[in-house]
Amino acid sequence: MSVSVINYHRGMVRWEPNARGRLEQAALELYFERGFEQTTVAEIALRAGLTERTFFRHFADKREVLFSGAGMLEELMASAIADAPADAAPLDAMAAALEAAGALLQERRALARQRQAVIIANRALQERELIKLASLAAALGEALRRRGVAEPAASLTAEAGVAVFKVAFERWVGDADQAELPEVIRASLDELRAVTAGTAPCTNHPHWPGW
Amino acid sequence: MSVSVINYHRGMVRWEPNARGRLEQAALELYFERGFEQTTVAEIALRAGLTERTFFRHFADKREVLFSGAGMLEELMASAIADAPADAAPLDAMAAALEAAGALLQERRALARQRQAVIIANRALQERELIKLASLAAALGEALRRRGVAEPAASLTAEAGVAVFKVAFERWVGDADQAELPEVIRASLDELRAVTAGTAPCTNHPHWPGW
């Protein structure tokens, strides 16, 4: 995915610096203000100061604005698993993937919050999000199997990792006190280790103040 | 949900013993043979030797035949969590819920296998199944919070429990050697404990022969 694109249009060379980012920003603002269903591609292009044609050069449809990042996240996490030291335990390879995902999303906190509000308000988008999470678990399970992790350990580690990600993400995105996502993810992973070890969960964990 | 129903029809009393079960059986056979989309309610009723009217007395539509059991499973599992001893650790309460679910589904193995084949063949049904699993995780998290389990332990235990269920169910439903589901679930849960403890996973676990 290119972040800025040169358009050759009727013989003229036109710069559209960061067209993709501007379209994404405009779309999220409009989905947030008016609702996803009520927003048209024409309105998104207008707010971004670009044309509909440019929109469709970057996104297949208005739903893809919300979900194209999911593929990037999946690749990033699968690569982190592949790149973990050969002797790393499955859950440690998964922790590296979660760390990478946390760092990426932390940089995009404002967009992530807006996106989450849009998705929560629309049932079809919620369903799409669940499908993306299931696809993420499948991809991470595959990345673990490529490291030689057997079943069912690979699938269980992948599903548990996605569970940690989901719980931590929801905590972070709805959190007023601005904890950093990688930190919330680490706390979540520790908590998962505690509950599966059967030890008393940390009921007063500093990163879960409001729950 | 009533299992057998007396229909009063034009002044006559007619017994339709186990109409719901017969409709379910007929529907699964037809979805399996012809595909879900290609099957009509009229055909289901015909194969069950019942009327369309009787079908709609039991199911809102043909999709509900596949998913009405999910609500029952959710109630069963939430009750098992509520009924676990007060001093049971969160994961032990979850294990009781998984045990109850395993016992129920084991009795319905043939139907469960047919249902799974139908769902795998249809993308919209797969999506619906993911939604049901997400709803199950939310309900189990709520049942754990009612026991006084704090966040994020409640959500993580619920998500981890559903992950174990999903992985074990897929193993069991596709397994030729007829392992019992409660046993596969217990093996899965042990494996989750092993991977989160960072110990070497049981790569040659007897209940995971073919993976």
Tens of pLDDT along chain A (211 residues)? 444 444 444 444 456 678 999 999 999 999 999 999 999 999 999 999 999 999 999 999 999 999 988 888 999 999 999 999 999 999 999 999 999 999 999 998 888 989 999 999 998 899 899 999 999 999 999 999 999 999 999 999 999 999 999 999 999 988 766 789 999 999 999 999 999 887 544 444 444 434 3
Question: Mean pLDDT across chain A, nearest whole number?
Answer: 86
pLDDT of residue A175: 76
Whole-angstrom CA distances from A201 to A7, A108, B140 are 55, 30, 17
Phi, psi torsion values for A16, nearest 5 degrees? -130, 80
**pLDDT grade for B201, boundaries at 50, 70 and 90:** very low
Handedness of CA A127, A128, A134, A136 (dihedral sign): negative
Q: Which residues in chain B have Cβ-Cβ distances shorter than 8 Å to A162? A: 163
Share of chain B above pLDDT 90, in %: 72
B201 touches chain A (CB under 8 A): yes
A155 touches chain B (CB under 8 A): yes
C-beta of residue A35 within 8 angstroms of C-beta of residue A121: yes
Closest CA to B164 of A192, A139, A159, A199: A159
Q: Using the beta-carbon criterion (under 8 Å), do B150 and A201 form an inter-chain contact?
A: yes
Q: Which residues in chain B have Cβ-Cβ distances shorter than 8 Å to A131? A: 127, 130
The minimum CA-CA distance between A144 and chain B, rounded to whole Å, is: 12
Q: Using the beta-carbon criterion (under 8 Å), do B91 and A196 form an inter-chain contact?
A: yes
Instruction: Tell me if residue A10 falls in helix, strand or coil.
Output: coil
Q: Using the beta-carbon criterion (under 8 Å), do B205 and A167 form an inter-chain contact?
A: no
For chain A, helix, strand, coil in percent to 5 are 65, 5, 30
Most B CBs within 10 Å, among A131, A142, A167, to test the B interface = A167
Instruction: Tell me if residue B16 falls in helix, strand or coil.
Output: strand
52-91 in A: which are within 8 Å (CB) of B? Answer: 89-91
pLDDT of residue A206: 44
- Distance of alpha carbon B96 from alpha carbon B138, whole angstroms: 17
- Say whether the peptide bond before residue B17 is cis (omega within 30 degrees of 0): no
Whole-angstrom CA distances from B155 to A154, A177, B135, B158, B171 are 21, 20, 12, 5, 24
Question: Mean pLDDT across chain B, nearest whole number?
Answer: 86
pLDDT of residue A174: 83
Average pLDDT over residues B90-119: 93
Average pLDDT over residues B129-156: 94
DSSP B162: H
pTM, entire model: 0.82
pLDDT of residue B198: 73
pLDDT of residue A198: 72
Q: Using the beta-carbon criterion (under 8 Å), do A205 and B152 form an inter-chain contact?
A: yes
pLDDT of residue A208: 44
A vs B: CB pairs below 8 A: 124
- Distance of alpha carbon B93 from alpha carbon B144, whole angstroms: 8
- Distance of alpha carbon B33 from alpha carbon A26, whole angstroms: 48
Q: Using the beta-carbon criterion (under 8 Å), do B90 and A188 form an inter-chain contact?
A: no
Average pLDDT over residues B126-154: 94
pLDDT of residue B110: 86
B96 touches chain A (CB under 8 A): no
**pLDDT grade for B199, boundaries at 50, 70 and 90:** low
Q: Using the beta-carbon criterion (under 8 Å), do B160 and A155 form an inter-chain contact?
A: no
Average pLDDT over residues B127-134: 91
- Distance of alpha carbon B36 from alpha carbon A14, whole angstroms: 51
pLDDT of residue B11 exceeding 60, the answer is no
Least confident of A193-202, B28-37, B140-149, B200-209: B200-209
- Say whether the peptide bond before residue B152 is cis (omega within 30 degrees of 0): yes
Query: pLDDT tens digits, residue range B143-175?
Result: 999 999 999 999 999 999 999 999 999 999 887
